[in-house]
Amino acid sequence: MRLTDLLHPHLDGVTTVVDAAGHGLRLAPYLHLPDGVALLDDDGRRPVGEGELVLLSYGPDPALHGTEEDCLAVLERLRPGGRGLLMFGHPGPEPPYHRLLDGLVAQHCQVLRAAPLDYVHLHAGAVFARLGTDRLLPPRDWFGRPVPADGFATTLRTAGEYVLADLVSRTLRARHQDLERRAEDAERARDAVREDGLADRLAAAVREKEQLAAALRGARGRVEVLQARVAMLEGSTSLRVGKALVSAARAPRRRMPGLPRELYGLWRGRAAHKPAPASRRAGPGSAPLIADDRLHLVHRAFSAAPRDRLVIAGVLTDRTAEDFAADAVVNRPLPHDGALLVRRTDPDAVVVQLSACTAAGPWALTGTGLAPDLDRRLAGLLTEARALGRSAVLWRDAPASAAPGLAHLAWDAVLDADTGVRLARLDPAEDGSERLREAFQWDSTRVRLAELARLVGAPDPLDERRVAVLAAPRDRHDVARLAAQVLGQQHRPAEVIVPDPAGLDELDAAGVAVRTGPPTAAWVADWTDLAEDRPDTLLLDLMCAQEYSGADALGHAPAGADYTFVPALRQPLLVRRTLHLAGAPPESWCGRGYRLFAVRGKEPS
């Protein structure tokens, strides 16, 4: 939630907002106060009475958020009718409100509403009011509207909600502790499995060593037999006569004066057709050529660039490999070349999909105990990956009992999830926009690959979903409208590009980078016209359509075309960064080979 969403419903009757927050906080760009409400700095002495609201903050960094003593001192200056907004800078779902609750009660302050805040340095906030009587004010709902209750009914409602909320929180805390215990047990079990797998690999290595030693002894015995045969041949008369003839042919006048004339002529004919030595044939300044028939590389060049995509060597099903290939480089090792492929491709991770070991394919029956040769080859594949410093990941998308032998191998990580759904396999007309949004956010193949990338430290596939918004706010009203539209998007932009970043501190605090210059995100949305009404699902629906189609530009098309490729766009809404930086007019995009996809939206007036 934004600070304005929490504060503005409680500004009825307020004419002055007093900033008594920590000295390191500059809250003016976050508030977007309406006309008629003034913002003043607290002088540390003036009381806060009716028609005024004070801003307080408390957090782990005293220089930034302030201290508990500062908050209590301000509460003592609160008069009946005054209101306040207390902000917590403590991370986590449970801020230490108990440190200030006694002070609020002592000053007859009632907490009207509390909500989490979506900022990097402010994580929760609570609105309270100083009571002038013993009657409680009606509480507020999530939207800040008063709940119809008064007097004793308010007391009953508050007490009942406290008990019921405590019931829910205790259940959630118990569930959280149970999940933590399960995670610890699973980690201990995985360590035990790794130790067992290490013993199995050690025994297999010892057996392989004994087999290699036996083969080496057999090879040495054969070499000794061959050496004896060569010695016997060298001592034979036929070999000696042959050596004498060869020596005479090389130097007939010195070695054998009585050599027959025909043999001498034969030698001269051989010398005449003998090619020149390689060193004499080579040109001036060139490297000498090799006389034998082997090929040698005399020059080698290569280019290196940062790896920007996830690279996988995967034992995968055909469907999974096809889906993964849309967002990653996928190499599929076979049982006979797995180790070589891992060495040559240097993947970020070696991924073994459990269902690929139980379905039809080259790795079928692996881990079932019915194909020990495949088990041994898979173990060798993982050993090769570990020798290269790469992670071995088991993608357990099926029951572990289907291939129990895989649990005995040493895995660096285990993913217990399906491989997701590729949006291109969905039917927008049949599944609907809600299913596309759900798959895009939680169930898509790209989301699953992002989990893998975080485990192995590889490039994040979700970087392809980053959007840059281009805007040019002219006054504080445009700044407020831009902040509301950006932070209200369900698929929040990664950066906002503006000529002047002044007044946009709230975006930066919410994790949205505010920059000048060219965009760096993969996609660009032009929001120069801030008067246009943009729904909170605009970027989400556009990115769903892009991931479904793989298009380079999306927007409204003539004749109201929807979810189809078109030759031209009447109003581009989302453009690939490279296409935006190219500067080509939209009319020429299709002719240049770019793919344009139409989505139906709110027609401009």
pLDDT of residue 202: 74
C-alpha 363/C-alpha 141 separation (Å) is 57
Which candidate, 389, 429, 397, 394, places its Cα nearest to that of 413? Answer: 394
Three-state secondary structure of 96-141: CCHHHHHHHHHCCEEEEEEEECCCCCCCEEEEEEECCCCCCCCCEC
Q: To the nearest whole percent, how much of the chain has pLDDT over 70?
A: 85
C-alpha 406/C-alpha 562 separation (Å) is 47
> How does pLDDT run across 475-491, given as a tens digit for each residue?
999 999 999 999 999 99
> How does pLDDT run across 191-246, given as a tens digit for each residue?
665 566 566 667 777 777 887 888 888 888 888 888 887 877 777 767 777 777 77
pLDDT of residue 132: 87
Name the residue with tokens 């040495």. Answer: 220
> How does pLDDT run across 57-92, given as a tens digit for each residue?
999 999 999 999 999 999 999 999 999 999 999 987
Instruction: Decide if 58 contacts 93 (C-beta within 8 A).
Output: no
- Enumerate residues 6+ apart whose C-beta is below 8 A from 288: 278, 279, 282
Which candidate, 513, 409, 432, places its Cα nearest to that of 199? Answer: 409
Phi, psi of 578 (to 5 degrees): -65, -35
Mean pLDDT is lowest, of 170-179, 190-199, 307-316, 511-520, for 190-199
C-alpha 324/C-alpha 416 separation (Å) is 17
Which amino acid type is present at position 35? Answer: D
> How does pLDDT run across 266-311, given as a tens digit for each residue?
555 555 555 554 444 444 444 444 444 444 444 444 445 678 899 9
C-alpha 7/C-alpha 542 separation (Å) is 31
CB atoms within 10 A of CB 290: 11
Domains of the chain in sequence order: 3-148 (3.40.50), 310-434 (3.40.50), 461-598 (3.90.550.10)
C-alpha 252/C-alpha 246 separation (Å) is 9
Question: Exposed (0-12), middle (13-18) or buried (19+): which is 89, by Cβ within 10 Å?
Answer: buried
Per-residue pLDDT band for 261 (boundaries 50, 70, 90) equals low
C-alpha 539/C-alpha 544 separation (Å) is 8
> How does pLDDT run across 526-551, given as a tens digit for each residue?
999 999 999 999 999 999 999 999 99
CB atoms within 10 A of CB 185: 10
Phi, psi of 204 (to 5 degrees): -65, -40
> How does pLDDT run across 346-362, given as a tens digit for each residue?
999 999 999 999 989 99
Q: To the nearest whole percent, how much of the chain has pLDDT over 90?
A: 61
> How does pLDDT run across 32-57, given as a tens digit for each residue?
999 999 999 998 888 999 999 999 99
Asked whether residue 588 carries a pLDDT value surpassing 70, the answer given is yes
- Enumerate residues 6+ apart whose C-beta is below 8 A from 141: 147
Q: State whether residue 328 is helix, strand or coil.
A: strand
More confident residue, 142 or 152: 152
**Strand boundaries in 487-578, DSSP class E:** 495-497, 513-515, 523-526, 553-556, 564-566, 571-576
Instruction: Decide if 504 contacts 496 (C-beta within 8 A).
Output: yes
Give the DSSP H/E element, type plus range, for residue 541.
helix 538-549
**Mean pLDDT in the chain?**
85
pLDDT of residue 252: 60
> How does pLDDT run across 11-34, given as a tens digit for each residue?
999 999 999 998 889 899 999 999
Per-residue pLDDT band for 254 (boundaries 50, 70, 90) equals low
379-384 average pLDDT score: 92
pLDDT of residue 244: 72
> How does pLDDT run across 499-515, given as a tens digit for each residue?
999 999 999 999 999 99
Alpha carbon distance, N-terminus to C-terminus of the chain: 31
Mean pLDDT is lowest, of 332-336, 378-382, 601-605, for 601-605
- Confidence (pTM): 0.73
Which amino acid type is present at position 248? Answer: A
Instruction: Decide if 64 contacts 25 (C-beta within 8 A).
Output: yes
C-alpha 64/C-alpha 331 separation (Å) is 50
Instruction: Decide if 526 contacts 567 (C-beta within 8 A).
Output: no
